[in-house]
Structure formats: C-alpha cells, structure tokens
C-alpha cells in the first residue's frame, strides 16, 4: 500500500534539463522535495529517495 502511494506520487514528477546540463526534478504538491543530478536516471533515483525519507520523517 505504501509503495503504491509513493509510486503514484513519483508518476507526477516533473523534470527539466537545466542550462548546465543537469536534470532538475520535483513533485507538485510536495514543497522541498526535489533533486538535481547530472543524468535523468540519477535525478529520478534521488527524487524517489528524498520522497521516501520525507514520508518517514
């Protein structure tokens, strides 16, 4: 149930490529939950980790 909720929220994530070539990701409705990594895959992974940590706090 928890994993389904987190998955659903991650599907709402928005990513954009910045001028420096890095990828920025955030989830609407979750202020302060964001990631910024060199690759899109790394940004998605970090965003998932941040969301999971936020949930358990």
Other Cβ atoms closer than 10 A to 32: 7
Residue-range definition of the domain harbouring residue 25 = 2-56
Answer whether 0.75 is exceeded by the pTM. yes
Question: What is the C-alpha end-to-end distance of the chain, expressed in Å?
Answer: 18
Confidence category of residue 2, pLDDT binned at 50, 70, 90: confident
* Token pair for 56: 């358990």
Based on its alpha-carbon atoms, the radius of gyration of the chain, rounded to whole angstroms, reads 11
Q: Domain of 49: which CATH number?
A: 3.30.160.250
Please check whether residue 35 is in contact with residue 15, taking contact to mean a CB–CB distance below 8 angstroms. Answer: no
**Number of domains composing the chain:** 1
Note the pLDDT tens digit of each residue in 5-50.
Answer: 999 999 999 999 999 999 999 999 999 999 999 999 999 999 999 9
């Amino acid at each position: 149930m928890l994993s389904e909720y987190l998955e659903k929220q991650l599907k709402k994530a928005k990513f954009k490529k910045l001028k420096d070539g890095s990828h920025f990701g955030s989830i609407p409705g979750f202020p302060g939950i964001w990631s910024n990594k060199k690759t899109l895959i790394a940004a998605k992974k970090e965003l998932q980790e941040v969301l999971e940590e936020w949930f358990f706090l």
